[in-house]
Structure 1
Amino acid sequence: MTEMTYVEAACLALRQEMQRDPLVWALGEDLGPEGGLVGQYRGLQQMFGSQRVVDTPISENTIMGAAVGAAVCGTRPVAELRFADFALCATDELVNQAAKIRYMFDGQVRVPLVVRQPIGLRTGIAAQHSQSTEAFWVHVPGLVVVTPSTPADNHALLKAAIRCDDPVVYMESKELWQVRGDVDPDAGPAELGRAERVAAGPDVTIVTWSRMRHICEAAVPMLVADGVRVDLFDLRTLWPWDRDAVLSSVRKTGRLLVVQEAVKTGGFGAEIVADIVEHAHADLKAAPVRLGGPRAPVPFAKPLEDLHRLTEAQVAGAAHALVRI
């Protein structure tokens, strides 16, 4: 095991996949000399050349259009869009082309494409750079959606995304970029659609993903100190999501709390709650609860930005309230 940051783990995975398969390449803004926004591609252009790590114009729809065409022609592009907010400029290419080509051509053509879209809050970057848009992409048939929360997962899940034959929206939390953790450099690709049970307990099921995994994990000792034992799941991928693991847990605990950084209204947490209510209603001891961001743009001012942030205390309080019912 080697300790490295979340960014370094993904860079290692991409380097290993490019060494393994000459059809893997990357494109986006400032990937070469700059090495990407926070070094996600550092050293890769020097190692593989400018034909495999390609610097593009500042045009997300151009990046996505080129990547979709290259994927259809048999390569495995990794398209860097810098922020999930900017991916909205490339919606037509991703939603109306990449996501539908395999279906419309009866499986004769596939689109093995990874679209990196950093999500979530990062201090002081305000409304146009702070959104968590994962629910939108989950809604689109044909897309796989991945949300790694640890350096080890960012390494193994990026490998899985690159090897996937369908387009993958790969969403890395900006506030996890410098988080450190142990990574097995020789680890293979993770299994898409498999959640990680972070903590085990019989009292309440907590389901989360991305940066909120760390907030929920920090709330666990607070709950244990008060005698509340939590079954905590990090989904890791939102489509496919590990419905069976969550259903099995809720049938034992009878209580469900879903925690997301994204706006609560219309978020993926609502889909999880609806699915559990539909299939495990008789096992519920209390109505499921969602925690999420307010339906408001993220402000620049830090005191106002902090109002958008979920805390360990809020997670612990919501779990306590469920157990008391």
Structure 2
Amino acid sequence: MAAITQPSVAIIIINWNNFNDTQKCLNSLKKCDYPNFQSIVVDNDSQDGSGRKLEDEFKDFAYFIFSDSNRGFTGGNNLGLKYALDQGFEYVMELNNDTEVEPDFITKLIDSIVDKPEYGAAQPLIYFNTPNRHIVWNAGGNYIRPLGISQTKYKNVKDSRFIKASETDWITGCAFLIKSEVIKKTGLLKEFYFFGSFEDVDLSMRIRNLGYKLWFEPSAVIYHSVGGSSKSKTKGKEGYLNPKVHYLTQRNQMIFINHHTPTIFKPVAVLTQVIKLLAYSLYFLVLWRPIKLKMVWKGFKDGLFKTYHD
């Protein structure tokens, strides 16, 4: 059942040298049954012409913003968020460009929190975008505060029938629907995260710190081609995943701990990361990934000692 009210929704998609995935995402959004939404494509200074090519194809469907530099996931989304808030959209959504959506997913998400003032944001059920599309990638997240660890619920589950709608600790940036009144209070994404991870957990924590709850809605469904924007198409000496992604992921983990783990728990959280990195080190040595090994430890050091600008 559709909500009695149909508030305006801005859906922000980042494109960076990835015409094919963004095209698929926009084509799936064109099939959505929700009557009051606008797609906003932020081209992050693509060097392959994909942004202009997408604009030529979808200019009657989406609004395009062209950045003069690659501002990363956080900076690119902030360009879209600022535009959406200036235009008065009542809800804003970050949506990865390597996703495809079910036609009713916006309606289901809006329905899930539109009449619940205690909830500030919501996310859909996300499956891996594989041929049979039945394996769960993300169904909300748990946060273990003393350890500074965020975990994904139900990852790689093949039978989602038992997964129920519920409150969740954090929401993935892959598909993050936020009430505009809430993000005006929290502020935008923290751009020092840039890309990799934890910008979504950080925003989730800031929303919760204001007293709002977060909702997971499994009747709203999308599909995610995981790693479409961070993996190389060809396997190199260091594997498919760019070593910089390992650096940013570990650095962002430590930034997140600095910002959100209570001082009394920080030694435990840091020790947990050291133990994890020792295991990673063994793995990278066995596979002989020396650059990745160096980058994860550099990320740990840079994040721990705050070699970034707040």
Normalising by structure 2, report the TM-score.
0.31
Normalising by structure 1, report the TM-score.
0.30
The structure carrying a bigger strand percent of its residues is 2
- Higher RCO (CA 8 Å, separation ≥ 6 residues): 2
